[in-house]
Structure 1
Amino acid sequence: MSDDIPFIDLAAALADDAPEDLLATVRRAAETLGIIQVVNHGVPTEVIADFNDGFGRVFNLPREQKEQLTSPTGHPFRGWRQWPDDFGRLELERFSIAQYDDTDAALAAGLSPEHATLYTHANVWPPQEPGLRAATHRYHDAIVDVARRVLSLYARVLDVPAETFPLGGDVYTNVVVNSYPQWPHEDASDEEKLLLLEHTDGAAITVLHQEGDYAGLQGQHSDGTWIPVPVRPDALQVFTGTLLTNWSEGRLRPGRHRVVAGGSATRRSSAVFINPSLDTVVEPLPAFANPEGSDFEPVSVWKQAHGGVEEYLRVFGRPEQLAAWRENRPFVADVTA
């Protein structure tokens, strides 16, 4: 099963003398699954460890301390949050970090006043981990570099110029760290113990690292079957997002995935969602354009980002969470079991 989600030596695949069978494997996975795992990716082990270990300690804090790390304004994509299933059982803890800490930082980075409004709700950094902010930025920058190299690899296997996918220098990103709890309810099918529902990411590309004792992350094959994404400490998982599918006129399949419960220990994953700049309108690129017309509508990265919170809460938010957001106050979900 693990062969269905290939491990790709990224340095070897980008070399001038890359083996043809390796490139063929990348192309097959990109076109039929939308998920690969990359090794020899150039991200130092200590950069990954500093980031993961720091957030591991955050998730291990007493609950009353973690509650102080929620967004003071109820923003669902800032700081710590948790959510239970319909029976009150904890499904997931999450810590979310925006690209810039606040509007001042966004303006200083060169964003327009309009785009800087995305950061009106500030990041929350745990005072218990004073080095975590710097570790996160190191990790983020290294992961974005991996994304750029994977995009150039995808261009290569599709036989278009390396710079075809215009990610640009001023990318728009978000970082999310997920902690999945131990799950004693093993007498259930995968469909009955979903911790994260099946979905495709709305970014151009997502790069993820996972830790744990079981392969809870699953990808969906083109025939609808689900296959595990093996846990390998030195690997990074790369998912094609819907923006990249749009750019390629459907040549690159979006990586549909989900997370199921299992294992006797907590499982963690960290994801960096990477998009082109906020002023980008994504539509099929000339290299992939269909002369008979496109099945893909243009997508404004700014409009998608600007409406992201409202859309998320409309689809997934519970009444009490939506009320906290409307009232500009913290929200902590009740976990009863």
Structure 2
Amino acid sequence: MDLVDLGAVVADPELSGSAAIETARSLDRACRELGFFRLTGHGIDPALVDRLAIEAQAFFDQPDEVKAEVAMSRAGAAWRGWFPVKGEITSGRPDRKEGLYVGEEHPSDHPRVEAGTPLHGANRFPPGSLGPTVLEYLDAIRPVADLVMRTTAVGLGLPARWFEDNLTAEPTQLFRIFHYPDLPDNETSDEYGVGTHTDYGLLTLLLQDDRGGLEVQRPDGTWFDVPAEPGVLVCNIGDMLDRLTEGRYRSTPHRVRNTSGRSRLSFPYFFDPSWDAEVVPLPLEGSPPADDGERRWDGASVHAWSGTYGEYLTAKVARVFPELFASVRAGGGSGHPGSGDLR
């Protein structure tokens, strides 16, 4: 899996010089060949990363009844807070992980909060310093996402700020802290930490510990282990960038199985189109590959739907937390899954 150093782009955020443009070529190659790459030179403070990991582990070490004080089930349509092990479903099976769902802080008078739109609202953080540390990390990683998208744009032959100007002026930003416990049958169970899936949006920036467990599927169908390198961001493109490029970039299936003999932490940050954006193909030269329904892990084409990104995302998350979605809809939330089977 390619290693891309973002240092030249950090130093040249408009990608006007040869070093930054060469970085864009490297990233473009990684996106066309696999859809996953490793990222260094991003500039996030290692001390912040250490604090985040320590405070997250302290939260998950608590009894479930304590963590349940900030349960997702108490957050309504915002879908923020903690869920227990096997409380999330991927590919039809419960995941062997627990997690804390986080998003942008939306005030109570935000129009979408007042409308009960899913994934909008206030975060549910436990008492203590974890919440402020998470928000500090989000402030640190957002500029990295912008730079990666600028690099992506230049690699595709577009102006550096194309995504900011057309699709991510107000991006949908979601963050998760996942804890994969050391269950005694992790190696033999037919349940995964996270089952096979692709990510929904534009870009995922993943921070992980040194335990390993992330597996990525190559184009030939075989799987390989992603190196566990604390401080190195693992980046992958999502369904929307696959859709935007008409398959020139592929959203790649991946999964997690924790066989380290220890608990595992991971911190995925999802940088996605604006909620109301309609995601249509980019103005790229050349003919795109054929439609991808048959080659995708789920047999469903990312090109065969219409609507806004918010509708697409709501449908996806509703299938991950079906009981929670049913309760939100019964309570009058305005989010709806849109048309078609998007899972």
Shorter-chain TM-score above 0.5: yes
Partners in 1 of 2:151 and 2:284 — Cα distance?
15
Correspondent of 1:99 among 95, 104, 115: 104
The structural deviation recorded for 1:63 is 2.5
Letter in 1 for 2:218: H
Corresponding residue of 2:61: 60
Q: 2:108 corresponds to which letter in structure 1?
A: T
Taking a change above 3 Å as real, the CA distance of residues 134 and 23 of structure 1, as seen in their structure-2 partners, is same
Residues 210-221 of structure 1 mapped to structure 2, 5 A cutoff: 210-213=208-211, 215-221=212-218
Deviation at 1:290, TM superposition (A): 5.2
- Pairs within 5 Å for 1:60-79: 60-71=61-72, 72-73=74-75, 77-79=79-81
Match in the other structure for 1:8: 4
> How far apart, in 2, do the equivalents of 1:284 and 1:229 lie?
30
Alignment partner for residue 150 of structure 2, among 128, 135, 152? Answer: 152
Residue of structure 2 aligned with 1:300, choices 303, 308, 312: 308
Task: Look up the equivalent residue of 1:202 and give its one-letter code.
Answer: Y
2:84 to 61, 82, 85: 82
Distance 1:28 1:325, change over 3 A: same
> Aligned pair count?
308
Per-residue CA distance 1:256-305 (angstroms, 9 max, x = gap): 21001201211110111111211210010123585999883544113224
Query: Is the contact made by 1:34 and 1:256 (CA closer than 8 Å) also made in structure 2?
Result: no
Q: Distance in 2 between matches of 1:82 and 1:112?
A: 25
Match of 1:261 among 254, 258, 261: 258
Partner residue of 1:223 out of 217, 220, 229:
220
Go from structure 1 to structure 2 and tell me whether the alpha carbon gap of 1:73 and 1:283 turns closer, same or farther (over 3 Å shift). Answer: same
194, 197, 202: which is aligned to 2:195?
Answer: 197
Distance in 2 between the 1:90 and 1:282 partners? 29
Provide the C-alpha distance between the structure 1 equivalents of 2:210 and 2:134, rounded to a whole number of angstroms. 20
Counterpart residue identity of residue 243, structure 1? M
Residue 298 of structure 2 aligns with which residue? none
> Structure 2 CA distance, aligned partners of 1:91 and 1:303?
27
CA distance in 2 between counterparts of 1:199 and 1:309 reads 13
**Residue 244 of structure 1, CA deviation:** 1.0
**Normalising to structure 1: TM-score of the pair?**
0.78
Say if 1:263 and 1:120 are closer, same or farther in 2 by CA, change over 3 A: closer
**1:155–1:162 CA contact under 8 A, matched in 2:** yes
C-alpha spacing 1:310/1:34, structure 2 compared with 1 (3 Å): same
Matched, 1:206 2:211: no
Q: Does 1:40 align with 2:41?
A: yes
Structure 1 unaligned residues grouped into runs of 5+: 329-337
1:117-132 counterparts in 2 under 5 A?
117-118=117-118, 122-127=122-127, 129=128, 131-132=129-130
Superposed displacement of residue 125, structure 1: 1.3
What is the Cα deviation at residue 193 of structure 1?
A: 5.1
Q: Which runs of 5+ in 2 are unaligned?
A: 293-302, 332-343
In 2, distance between residues paired with 1:68 and 1:134?
A: 18
Q: Relative to structure 1, is the Cα distance of residues 183 and 301 closer, same or farther in structure 2, using a 3 angstrom cutoff?
A: same
CA contact (8 A) 2:6 2:42 kept: yes
Of structures 1 and 2, the one with the larger relative CO (CA 8 A, separation 6+) is 1
Residue 271 of structure 1 aligns with which residue?
268
Asked if the contact 1:32–1:221 (Cα under 8 Å) also holds between the matched residues in 2, the reply is no
Amino acid at match of 1:304: Y
Q: CA deviation at 1:176?
A: 0.8
Query: Structure 2 CA distance, aligned partners of 1:323 and 1:6?
Result: 41
Give the secondary structure class of the aligned counterpart of 1:118. Answer: coil
Out of 93-102 and 233-242, give the one that drifted further.
93-102
Q: TM-score, normalised by structure 2?
A: 0.77
Q: CA RMSD in A?
A: 3.4
CA distance in 2, matches of 1:89, 1:168: 32
Letter in 1 for 2:312: Q
- Cα gap change, 1:22/1:175 in structure 2, threshold over 3 Å: closer, same or farther? closer
- Sequence identity (%): 27
What is residue 333 of structure 1 aligned with on the other side?
A: none
